[in-house]
Chain A
């Protein structure tokens, strides 16, 4: 009996061993990507999606490569180079000025450690309350006491814009080891400020900051910002003609008192002066009298996580985009308030005109909560992008398989986004790849468009535009390019690549005419080496 049983056992075991399936392939990403369910953008939202030109070039922070990011120099360079959009991150100062600034810690891109250290700026704050805003003495003491108690160093929203104006946002670029080769004395001699949203809009319209000492500038000293604290002279600093208290308030997102309550801040209005950016007619041909004929890019602005901003921040941005509280209400960027009348993305004589169309402003955020809040204010009537980052933090995508990717696309649609903004792989940043061809295809299946970030090299351009046959793992089902617009730190290289490889229409090529050499252009813009 034993022999008979064992014989049967051995026979069955041998037979089964030949049938083992240990090496079977069990996942097919491409098949799964095509069968997973994705919602689709509504017809109305698709119309808004199409406000933006195809293959738009978005100048990431102006540039992080050629100039100090999100400063006047970076944005002027990007505009003159021919970017379709100037990209910026939005934050708020302690007195309600909306900033174009990436980091939540001022130490990397300013000299705050030299100016304030980590101490409460007592003297400057007192001068600001007493002299600049004219508060009564007892109110000044109360406000100073509250500010002192709630002060947290290095956060932009811990400082008034008056204090932020004292920070040099350009010199660090000349000292940072990653940008030493691009260092220019001009970034220091032309003092680079932390930009405001108003500045960004004015740059996009062909303006630059007006500075004391220039021909048409008002006399220095009407508001003494600089000589009181450090500078020998006001000459060369930006012109601020007025500082006015308003009745608008907001809760400071970071400055809390001991009892846990956020400081209630008052919005202060700064009146800045700008001038036509046309210093060297031999190089620039931006202005003909009062008529601007240069590039008018749109702006692509990012909401940070809600905890970094006031709860009514989206509404504050909505209001600021109207430009009604500035000297230039004609530059209303809020198409909900004033729809654009022009539709051509490029002018007949060859300039970027996106900033005069309904695609003039694109909103973006990594934060689901910000996306939701922005949708509450902007109602999906402004183009909006849901950015993707792989990781385990609060707003990150953890599962980048087809189902996980689809779930974020669906979330984006639900929360009012028109585009997805995935990270791309490759040096120098080596982000996670969230823009595989199947992921691009899935975004299109949802009737959304794809705005990946950030391009830094020719290799990345070639890869995502399909020159390297990348994506063929999925057979021929995915057609390059694997993007509909993209964020680049090298607007010059990206535009030249697109022209050279036929990704710009004849009309668009006519627009660009010739992509300027970055270094020459910076020289011409006044940023001497």
Chain B
């Protein structure tokens, strides 16, 4: 039953957002091909306390994809050109072993999303909000070059693999390396009318390479950032953290999903710790040679502090289907599907937060010179000195509440509306606290 259901849904749309309109199926059904695409037209109005966001309209996403199924092989490729910028998206091949009563096994190779957060794995077309939550945008991995093995049956879902950072033509200096990631689910309830799944995903990332910082010293780095859960102005400066000297990172993401015909709720929490490493000895030696040099390695290290950084975020999403047949569940990927019923109408709500701030207790930040001033003597007052020795970092902290109303003409056309309030804390935006945004989207897929 499950196997049949699985193949019925993936026959020609393993990765596609909708059942393709342009498709070719050979008479013996060994060859199936499709070409499709999607487009989002967004309208947004923003109001902020200090730093303006650009209200307006934009084609925030436009994609073309091609898919081919040949026997047990599946090939998929797509690219985007939203806002006039070409970008390569997925490019992979998948082989699915013969389904048995115990489950379905498959392997996948190419450039695609690392297994991680269920939010990150869900196509934005099938998402119930305009954008993924802050935490997922910032802390969940994106696409990378790699290979995975996946297994699922009615009760379990395992997906894990090894990845290299970034595809061949988009290598970022300072952030090369490898990662190992996986997502594992248990589904105590998995019926036609309801699903309950709990799971966890984890990722270990090692950074190598880097940009030349000094003679013989390469500096690795990693960036964590998110837009304000909107794409008309997708500025990421409000929630943006660069971590130089990142060497290893580990993330863990527990998740839970429940859906019934009329209701869904899902939540995730992402915890990330970044360890750093730097060739202190070499950098210290290169500083020597002047009266104003640091005279000892410990003194140099004291003036150039480095410590691990902790980041986290999470969200909870709720939806109620007012009109339409039912919310449905994707067995192959362990995900909630999008609303695509004829004349479907749903109301949704989300609480989302992200903490990219790791500030040592007592530290005081002065915006004029972008420096933190520690409370070195512990008297509760930060000392204003000319050479403060700090290790705090701040990429911002945000809490947002979103409510939305979505309508689907059918699976190919949707209209979405959303209001969001965001509260921001970021030392680099001292007068920006409250953000309001109203958004409207018309989404097409074919």
Physical interaction between A and B: yes
Contact residues in B for A408 (Cβ distance below 8 Å): 366, 368-369
Identity of the chain B residue whose Cβ is nearest the Cβ of A9 in the assembled complex? B444
- Among candidates B50, B55, B57, B296, residue contacting A16 with C-beta atoms closer than 8 Å: B57
**Do A8 and B57 contact each other (CB < 8 Å), given the known contacts A403-B431, A408-B368?**
no
A47 to B28, CA, bound (A): 96
Interface 9-residue window, one of B251-259, B279-287, B380-388: B380-388
**Do A155 and B413 contact each other (CB < 8 Å), given the known contacts A21-B56, A367-B386, A368-B386?**
no
Most central of B52, B296, B385, B412 by chain A CB within 10 Å: B385
Q: Is the CB of A16 within 8 A of B58?
A: yes
**Do A399 and B368 contact each other (CB < 8 Å), given the known contacts A19-B57, A21-B56?**
yes
A405 to B22, CA, bound (A): 59
- Residue-wise interface mask of B (11-49) relative to A, using a CB-CB cutoff of 8 A (1 in contact, 0 not): 000000000011000000000000000010111000000
- Among candidates B295, B366, B442, residue contacting A12 with C-beta atoms closer than 8 Å: B442
Whole-angstrom distance between the Cβ of B399 and the nearest chain A Cβ? 22
- Among candidates B21, B56, B386, residue contacting A395 with C-beta atoms closer than 8 Å: B386
Contact residues in B for A430 (Cβ distance below 8 Å): none
Interface 9-residue window, one of A22-30, A485-493, A506-514: A22-30
Q: Is the CB of A369 within 8 A of B384?
A: yes
B193 interface contact, C-beta 8 A: no
A22 to B58, CA, bound (A): 10
Q: Which residues of A (2-33) have their CB < 8 Å from a CB of B?
A: 2, 5-6, 8-9, 12-13, 15-17, 19-22, 24, 26-27, 32
A479 to B89, CA, bound (A): 56
Q: Is the CB of A27 within 8 A of B384?
A: no
Identity of the chain A residue whose Cβ is nearest the Cβ of B443 in the assembled complex? A9
- Among candidates B56, B366, B369, residue contacting A19 with C-beta atoms closer than 8 Å: B56
Whole-angstrom distance between the Cβ of A250 and the nearest chain B Cβ? 19
Q: Is the CB of B43 within 8 A of A394?
A: no
Contact residues in B for A9 (Cβ distance below 8 Å): 39, 41, 442, 444
Q: Is the CB of A399 within 8 A of B442?
A: no
- Among candidates B54, B55, B56, B385, residue contacting A369 with C-beta atoms closer than 8 Å: B385
- Residue-wise interface mask of A (299-319) relative to B, using a CB-CB cutoff of 8 A (1 in contact, 0 not): 000000111000000000000
A306 to B385, CA, bound (A): 9
Identity of the chain A residue whose Cβ is nearest the Cβ of B55 in the assembled complex? A21
Q: Is the CB of B369 within 8 A of A396?
A: yes
Contact residues in A for B368 (Cβ distance below 8 Å): 397-399, 404-408, 411
Interface size on B, residues (CB 8 A): 33
Q: Which residues of B (357-375) have their CB < 8 Å from a CB of A?
A: 366-370
B95 interface contact, C-beta 8 A: no
B446 interface contact, C-beta 8 A: yes
Contact residues in A for B295 (Cβ distance below 8 Å): 256, 260
Q: Which residues of A (274-318) have their CB < 8 Å from a CB of B?
A: 305-307
A36 interface contact, C-beta 8 A: yes
Q: Is the CB of B291 within 8 A of A36?
A: no
A254 interface contact, C-beta 8 A: yes
Q: Is the CB of B41 within 8 A of A16?
A: yes
Whole-angstrom distance between the Cβ of B305 and the nearest chain A Cβ? 16
Q: Is the CB of B41 within 8 A of A13?
A: yes
Q: Is the CB of B386 within 8 A of A305?
A: yes
Q: Is the CB of A13 within 8 A of B39?
A: yes
- Among candidates B50, B57, B366, residue contacting A407 with C-beta atoms closer than 8 Å: B366
**Do A12 and B41 contact each other (CB < 8 Å), given the known contacts A20-B57, A22-B56, A26-B52?**
yes
Whole-angstrom distance between the Cβ of A25 and the nearest chain B Cβ? 9
Whole-angstrom distance between the Cβ of A375 and the nearest chain B Cβ? 10
**Do A399 and B367 contact each other (CB < 8 Å), given the known contacts A2-B446, A13-B41, A20-B57?**
yes
Whole-angstrom distance between the Cβ of A445 and the nearest chain B Cβ? 16
Whole-angstrom distance between the Cβ of A252 and the nearest chain B Cβ? 12
Identity of the chain B residue whose Cβ is nearest the Cβ of A26 in the assembled complex? B52
A398 to B42, CA, bound (A): 37
A405 to B57, CA, bound (A): 34
B430 interface contact, C-beta 8 A: yes
B59 interface contact, C-beta 8 A: yes
Q: Which residues of B (38-89) have their CB < 8 Å from a CB of A?
A: 39, 41-43, 50, 52, 54-59
Whole-angstrom distance between the Cβ of B78 and the nearest chain A Cβ? 17
A64 interface contact, C-beta 8 A: no
Contact residues in A for B57 (Cβ distance below 8 Å): 15-17, 19-21
Identity of the chain A residue whose Cβ is nearest the Cβ of B296 in the assembled complex? A260
Identity of the chain A residue whose Cβ is nearest the Cβ of B429 in the assembled complex? A403
Q: Is the CB of B54 within 8 A of A26?
A: yes
- Residue-wise interface mask of A (219-256) relative to B, using a CB-CB cutoff of 8 A (1 in contact, 0 not): 00000000000000000000000000000000000101
Q: Is the CB of B52 within 8 A of A404?
A: no
Contact residues in A for B42 (Cβ distance below 8 Å): 16
Contact residues in A for B50 (Cβ distance below 8 Å): 32, 403
Q: Is the CB of B413 within 8 A of A8?
A: yes
- Residue-wise interface mask of A (362-383) relative to B, using a CB-CB cutoff of 8 A (1 in contact, 0 not): 0000011110100000000000
Whole-angstrom distance between the Cβ of B432 and the nearest chain A Cβ? 10
Most central of B43, B57, B369 by chain A CB within 10 Å: B369
Contact residues in B for A142 (Cβ distance below 8 Å): none
A1 interface contact, C-beta 8 A: yes
Whole-angstrom distance between the Cβ of B65 and the nearest chain A Cβ? 15
Contact residues in B for A256 (Cβ distance below 8 Å): 295
Identity of the chain A residue whose Cβ is nearest the Cβ of B370 in the assembled complex? A398
A369 to B385, CA, bound (A): 5
A405 to B369, CA, bound (A): 10
- Among candidates A254, A368, A403, residue contacting B291 with C-beta atoms closer than 8 Å: A254
Contact residues in B for A361 (Cβ distance below 8 Å): none
A373 to B369, CA, bound (A): 20
Contact residues in B for A19 (Cβ distance below 8 Å): 43, 56-57
Identity of the chain A residue whose Cβ is nearest the Cβ of B290 in the assembled complex? A152
Q: Is the CB of B369 within 8 A of A306?
A: no
- Among candidates A2, A37, A405, A411, residue contacting B384 with C-beta atoms closer than 8 Å: A411
Q: Is the CB of B367 within 8 A of A403?
A: yes
Q: Is the CB of A404 within 8 A of B58?
A: no
A394 to B59, CA, bound (A): 45
Contact residues in A for B291 (Cβ distance below 8 Å): 152, 155, 254
A415 interface contact, C-beta 8 A: yes
Whole-angstrom distance between the Cβ of A192 and the nearest chain B Cβ? 27
Whole-angstrom distance between the Cβ of A2 and the nearest chain B Cβ? 5
A226 to B43, CA, bound (A): 83
Q: Is the CB of B367 within 8 A of A20?
A: no
A395 to B388, CA, bound (A): 10
Contact residues in B for A17 (Cβ distance below 8 Å): 57
A411 to B21, CA, bound (A): 64
Contact residues in B for A6 (Cβ distance below 8 Å): 444, 446
A27 to B366, CA, bound (A): 22
Contact residues in B for A370 (Cβ distance below 8 Å): 386
Whole-angstrom distance between the Cβ of B205 and the nearest chain A Cβ? 31
Whole-angstrom distance between the Cβ of B44 and the nearest chain A Cβ? 9
Whole-angstrom distance between the Cβ of B278 and the nearest chain A Cβ? 20
Contact residues in B for A405 (Cβ distance below 8 Å): 368
Whole-angstrom distance between the Cβ of A279 and the nearest chain B Cβ? 42
Contact residues in B for A395 (Cβ distance below 8 Å): 369, 386
Q: Which residues of B (408-422) have their CB < 8 Å from a CB of A?
A: 412-413
List 19 other contacts, CB 8 Å, given A260-B296, A369-B386: A6-B444, A9-B442, A16-B57, A19-B56, A20-B58, A21-B56, A22-B54, A26-B52, A36-B431, A367-B386, A368-B386, A398-B369, A398-B370, A406-B368, A407-B367, A408-B368, A408-B369, A411-B366, A411-B368
17 residue pairs from A and B, CB less than 8 Å apart: A1-B21, A2-B446, A5-B444, A13-B39, A16-B42, A21-B54, A21-B55, A22-B54, A24-B55, A24-B56, A32-B50, A36-B431, A152-B291, A397-B368, A403-B430, A403-B431, A411-B384
6 closest pairs, A vs B, by CB?
A21-B56, A16-B57, A407-B368, A19-B57, A408-B368, A26-B52
